[in-house]
Amino acid sequence: MRILVTGATGTLGGALVPALLKAGNEVRALSRTRRESRGNVDWRWGDLISGNGLEDALDGVDAVAHLATSGRKGVGAVDIPGTRTLILFAREAGIRHLLFTSVVGTDRAAYHYLKYKLEAERLVTESGLGWTILRSTRFHQSLDQRIRDFSGLPVLPVDRSLPWQPVHTGEVAARAAELLGARPAGREIDFGGPEVITTDDLVKTWLRARGLRRPCLPVRYPGRVYAAQRAGDLTTDASPKGRITWNDYLFPPPADVSDDFASEHTASPTSPANQPEQDPDLRVYGGDEGYERPTRS
């Protein structure tokens, strides 16, 4: 199957492209930056907001994995108008399956960013195309970055009442690849990390992993999204769920470097050795700073 991935250069896209290749698909990857196609990934230039490049990117494609987002600060610019434009072109191109990635809890806490995701979900469900919506909880990499942003402060403000369910993008990508290999589900599917932990656990494990010490000040984060999170609206009991914990992500097991270095490095797409930092086509873990890659000394 030939699959177009929007948001292929993003955190999840970096894991999904190799997962789709591993499952035997042909991958076309969309970006607003022109990139040279090499290996098995056919890069196409395009912009979801203007629609430029989309006709070419969708030509001859069977399915679309729509990951692109303008994020929490982008006021839904890609999530709503971009999704609308993509759907128009996808209908013209006769796409059989549109998989849209969303966030667990959009239906229960449709505020701020989640409001845009919910509206984009509606566009997808009413698109007339075969569709699947994969809602996941916060990615390890995204929380890692968020805590890093705060770590310059002398004291970390920590709301102990919040439950988090971090999930690994390699596992979200594997689930997305599995769903793309099946008929369009025509429903929303939740995918969460293996455990629900408090902000305290989240931050203290992160500080330990990064070798930092910071006093934590108990606070209560304001706003409706945090209130919904406090009430458990952003976590899920759905099965299957991920297996890689926050602790696993922050303390990856030491690589067992054997004599057969080559075979070890082709073990799986999530193998650290299969993620050369300079090759975005092969990268599975996005933003895995702090990970010691195995080297031969």
Residues that bind ligand NAP (CB under 6 A): 6-7, 9-13, 30-33, 47-49, 67-71, 78, 82, 101, 103, 117, 136, 138-139, 142
Residue nearest to ligand NAP (CB): 10
Closest to ligand NAP by CB, 76 vs 156, is: 76
Closest to ligand NAP by CB, 218 vs 237, is: 237
The CA distances from residue 210 to 251, 284, 289, 291, in Å, are: 10, 21, 10, 10
CB 75, min distance to ligand NAP, A: 12
Strands in 155-229 per DSSP E: 156-158, 163-164, 188-191, 197-198, 216-218
Closest to ligand NAP by CB, 103 vs 177, is: 103
Query: Are the C-beta atoms of residues 129 and 118 closer than 8 Å to each other?
Result: no
3-class DSSP assignment, residue 149: helix
Closest to ligand NAP by CB, 9 vs 275, is: 9
Q: Token pair for residue 15?
A: 């894991």
Query: How many Å apart are CA 279 and CA 34, to the nearest integer?
Result: 15
Query: How many Å apart are CA 43 and CA 28, to the nearest integer?
Result: 6
CB 261, min distance to ligand NAP, A: 31
CB 23, min distance to ligand NAP, A: 19
Identify the burial level of 194 via C-beta atoms within 10 angstroms of its C-beta, where 0-12 means exposed, 13-18 middle and 19 or more buried: middle
CB 152, min distance to ligand NAP, A: 21
Query: How many Å apart are CA 250 and CA 143, to the nearest integer?
Result: 11
CB 160, min distance to ligand NAP, A: 21
Q: For 11, how many CA atoms within 13 A lie in the half-sphere containing its CB?
A: 20
Closest to ligand NAP by CB, 4 vs 158, is: 4
Closest to ligand NAP by CB, 21 vs 173, is: 173
CB 15, min distance to ligand NAP, A: 8
